Amino acid sequence: MNFRQYIILMSISAGLAWATWGFVLFGISPHEAGWGIFFIFYISLLLAVSCSLAILGLIVRVWILKKDNTPHEAGKSFRQAILLGILVIGLLYLEGKGILNWWVILLFIGALTMLEFFLVSYKKSYKQ
């Protein structure tokens, strides 16, 4: 898969995820919805945010920073986009439950940062 095909596929995926999220947001009442609708809400938002950030991250790495290894950069941008998406959705969920404060945010960011460091070091040790 080349760069153009990847961008098109990710754009279509992001568009479908944003459309699904918009349908759930504007089409379904939260007072009448069960846990399944909330699950679809959070999963579609996670996919939408992750796909959008992955596209943005890859475009910045390839076009602005002029990185040459596009498949490697696509993997890095996708991994980091998923982690940022988890951060956004996790903070949104915690705020919805009423348990979000500054130290929970710092703990959540710290945990995801350690996960990123683990994934980077695991990948480097796996290649050797």
Q: Which among 51, 55, 49 has a CA at the least distance from the CA of 4?
A: 55
Q: Which among 23, 78, 74 has a CA at the least distance from the CA of 45?
A: 23
* For the chain, domain boundaries: 3-127
40 close to 20: Cβ distance less than 8 angstroms: yes
The confidence score (pLDDT) of residue 124 equals 66
The confidence score (pLDDT) of residue 56 equals 93
C-alpha of 88 from chain center = 8
Torsion, Cα 126 78 57 49, to 10 degrees, reads: -150
CA distance 83 to 104: 16
The confidence score (pLDDT) of residue 125 equals 62
The confidence score (pLDDT) of residue 71 equals 79
List per-residue pLDDT tens for the chain, 128 residues long.
787 888 899 999 999 999 999 999 898 887 887 888 889 999 999 999 999 999 999 888 888 878 777 777 888 899 999 999 999 999 999 998 999 999 999 999 999 999 999 988 876 666 65
The confidence score (pLDDT) of residue 20 equals 95
